Structure 1
Amino acid sequence: MFSLKDKHAVVTGGGSGIGRAVCQLFGRQGAIVHVVDISQEAADQCALQITVEGGQAMAHACDVTSQQQVIALMQSIGRVHILVNSAGVSHIGRADNTAEEDFDRIYKVNVKGVYNCLHAVVPVMKQQGGGVILNMCSVAAFVGLQDRFAYSMSKGAVSAMTLSVAKDYVKDNIRCNSVSPGRVHTPFVDGFLAKNYPGREQEMFEKLSQTQPIGRMGKPHEIAAIILFLCSDEASFITGTDYPIDGGFIRLNT
């Protein structure tokens, strides 16, 4: 089950965090993985690890905020059976203290970046007879998170784009779903704690972990597992749906 043998899978933000875990799992399941990251070095490292484990992978440096770069990338890849839009950035702030340049940065990566990839991939999938798109959403799209104004805005847009694409291209055999993680322990979390709580990293890590009713943060490989399912043939009857994977955060905190 959950074989992706010989399927070309494009994963943006594939050089780190959840995106990297997705790339590694896809590689183990037989996919030809296209690791896309703004950092060529990060993409190279991930692709190398996949090939060392016996998988197939290629590394691509691409800025998803540039439509020209994204279109050129997709044209160079050719067939795309799976697209995972995992590239994203976060921001802390409210409406009254979020600077315009920070708002624009979040929009360009988290919203326009997803749009650029959809814009480039949908015609390819239509021509080849179908495909699967998985967008990285967040619990921030569905509940009010303190000090996450711009980030929540961007993930609300991802949720809306997911449903729209699923509706528009269901007759073209293109499925589009999203997953909404709660807090996941990635290098971003460690960097955030080191920057904002020097000397109190472990204390704050435990405090943030307890915001999930299950009592801990998620792990990247746990998010990758549900993404694998949704991108596999076993999920062929699922489209237009968001899957919270949040340790009970949405349902058990409300």
Structure 2
Amino acid sequence: MRKNILITGASSGLGRGMAREFAARGCNLALCARRTDRLEALKAELSARHPGIHVAIRALDVNQHDEVFRVFRSFREELGTLDRVIVNAGLGKGQPIGTGYFHANRQTAETNFVAALAQCEAAVEIFREQNAGHLVTISSMSALRGMPRNLTTYAATKAGLAALSEGIRADLIRTPIRVTTIFPGYIRSEINEKLKNTPFIVDTETGCRALVRAIEKEPASACVPWWPWAVLAVLMRRLPLAIIARMI
């Protein structure tokens, strides 16, 4: 069992939901995010509900790359080891390319890819020293194809993260270190709370329970929830781009 779990972006959405699920399984948690008031409240909730676990929290803006390395190492010092790191922090905003919103698209690209690279670097450095660990990256079903309109940059960053994860997996394939890429479908969270009439969407609790079940199996990759997203993944990779553009 992976006992000590680090989750970035843990103050809300999928990060907070996964923290609750892992706490219920008896895991110690290392939780970081920018909003420390929410982390404090989550720590109090989890410690009261599961008094046998240890919950460590740190403030972290993942775009402060030196801080990523410092915070990850401080968590390791506090817990003794890091058994699993879940690279979850990210942004969902974006605008169509060429419409005057480069600043928003750049922020999404920097947070979802460059900052994720820093998190992967920091985690794998620790795992190499331990000769053990499980790196988990949270990509997106949108990573499977180029996406139109507001999703263009977001999907590209998540595709980049998936490729980065696969490269790390290839590099570590003959070691005890495992690497998993998760492709979530529509799971209700703060990133998508404004979306209406979204097909196949599940509530946060249901989605996070499915995420944790998939992560615990430590596959190379997984679409979550499995139904219908594993089937849709096959279609998304094969359908003409014109059809993909009309689906979004």
Shorter-chain TM-score: which interval? 0.7 to 0.9
The partner residue of 1:99 within 95, 98, 101 is 101
Q: 1:170 aligns with which of 158, 170, 173?
A: 173
TM superposition shift of 1:98 = 5.5
Distance 2:203 2:4 in 1: 25
Amino acid at match of 2:142: A
Partner of 1:8: 4
Q: Which one is further off, 100-109 or 142-151?
A: 142-151
Aligned to 1:152: 155
The one-letter amino acid of 2:61's match is: D
> For 2:25, which of 21, 26, 29 is the aligned residue?
29
SS of residue paired to 2:31: strand
- Which is further off, 220-229 or 134-143? 220-229
Q: Write the distance in 2 (CA, Å) between the matches of 1:170 and 1:230.
A: 20
Give the SS at the match of 1:101.
Answer: helix
Distance across 2 between alignment mates of 1:222 and 1:98: 37
SS in 2 for 1:175: strand
Give the TM-score normalised by structure 1.
Answer: 0.81
Q: Distance in 1 between matches of 2:213 and 2:185?
A: 18
Report the counterpart of residue 182 of structure 1 in structure 2. 185
| Equivalent residues of 1:90, 1:106 under 8 A apart | yes
Instruction: State the partner residue of 1:61.
Output: 59
Structure 2 unaligned regions, length at least 5: 240-248
- The structural deviation recorded for 1:142 is 0.8
Instruction: Give the letter aligned to residue 168 of structure 1.
Output: D
TM-score by length of 2: 0.83
Q: CA deviation at 1:92?
A: 3.6
Counterpart of 2:35 in structure 1: which amino acid? Answer: S
Cα distance between partner residues in 1 of 2:206 and 2:86: 16
Worse overlay, 220-229 or 51-60: 220-229
Contact (CA 8 Å) 1:9, 1:83: kept in 2 or not?
Answer: yes
1:26 is displaced (CA, Å) by 0.8
Counterpart-to-counterpart distance in 2, 1:98 and 1:130: 45
Q: After TM superposition, which residue ranges in structure 1, 4 or more long, deviate above 6 angstroms?
A: none
Distance 2:29 2:184 in 1: 22
Which residue number in structure 1 is paired with residue 85 of structure 2? 83
> How far is 1:230 from its partner?
4.2
Structure 1's unaligned 5+ residue stretches are 194-203
Tell me the residue number matched to 2:121. Answer: 119
The number of aligned residues is 227
What's the counterpart of residue 209 of structure 2? 225
CA RMSD of aligned residues (A): 2.1
Alpha-carbon distance change, 118 to 144 in structure 1, aligned in 2, over 3 angstroms: closer
